[in-house]
Structure 1
Amino acid sequence: MGKVITNDTGKIIISKEVIATLAGIAAMECYGIVGMASQKIKDGIAELIGMEALSKGVEVAIKNEEINISIYIIVGYGTKISEIANNVMEKVRYTVQQHTGMTVDHVQIHVQGVRVVD
């Protein structure tokens, strides 16, 4: 289950899937990201995930009102991976906190591959 917010008129439930989609969209907006990779890479081959399934490249854990996010990305060849990872961390943390009102404790970046960009 995700985050439950209770007010005078009822409950609002924000699912982990919604948080994962927000994180995936935020990551894809960052420079140097070619795509998202599946969390379960078989045989060492990183598969690009389409825009309709971005949450498959994101893992969300919620504990004590804090969110921990793991993102699996593929970066473009010739880019500085550490800078891209830091930018993705900041963008994802900001976006998820702004949209959900929850605290993002950790954002972990897993670079699953490098692709040549046309």
Structure 2
Amino acid sequence: MKEELSYGSVNISKEVIAIIAGIAAQEIEGVAQVGESIASFVKLVSGIPIGRGLKVELIDKDVYIKIPVYVKQNVFFPDVARDIQTHVKEVVESMTGLNVREVNVIIKGVILGKKREEEKVK
């Protein structure tokens, strides 16, 4: 997305929008990981794992986002998906000024046993 201003221009890349969307999705309770596969993910400076596979389409100032996620066990998928859609839309719009038209959530799988591992660490 490129916006011309009287004193210059602002460019927002699809990759930046994907990172914003990935971080927002990771903040939702019940999301174990954002991305295509468990093996292939990137850690940002913040330490939040943001997986590959987020897709962003830009048409003028309209944004269409596809987010693959893995969820934690014992969560209700429709609630998690709805929360992701709402939060991602709000965050991307507030940070970029773009119109988020769609946030499509693809639940790739369920990660089992994370709770037991976390209890062992404590």
Task: Identify the TM-score tier after normalising by the shorter chain.
Answer: 0.7 to 0.9
Determine the structure 1 residue equivalent to 2:55.
59
Bigger radius of gyration among the two: 2
Structure 1 74/93 Cα, relative in aligned 2: closer, same or farther at 3 Å? same
Determine the structure 2 residue equivalent to 1:47.
38
Aligned residue for 1:95, secondary structure, equals helix
Cα contact 2:35–2:51 (8 A) shared by 1 = no
The worse-fitting range, judged by mean Cα deviation, of 21-30 and 56-65 is 56-65
Determine the structure 2 residue equivalent to 1:28.
26
Determine the structure 2 residue equivalent to 1:9.
7
Mapped partners of 1:57, 1:30: distance in 2: 18
| Percentage of pairs with the same residue | 27
Mapped partners of 1:97, 1:55: distance in 2: 21
Cα contact 2:42–2:52 (8 A) shared by 1 = no
Q: List runs of 5+ in structure 2 lacking aligned partners.
A: 116-122
Mapped partners of 1:93, 1:77: distance in 2: 25
Structure 1 4/55 Cα, relative in aligned 2: closer, same or farther at 3 Å? farther
User: What's the TM-score, normalizing by structure 2?
Assistant: 0.83
Mapped partners of 2:96, 2:51: distance in 1: 16
Structure 1 residue 89 corresponds to structure 2 residue 81: no
Cα offsets for 1:38-97 (capped at 9, x unmatched): 2xxxxxxx4252433626231000113200000000000100011000000000000000
Q: When the two structures are aligned, how many residues end up with a matched partner?
A: 109
Structure 1 residue 103 corresponds to structure 2 residue 99: yes
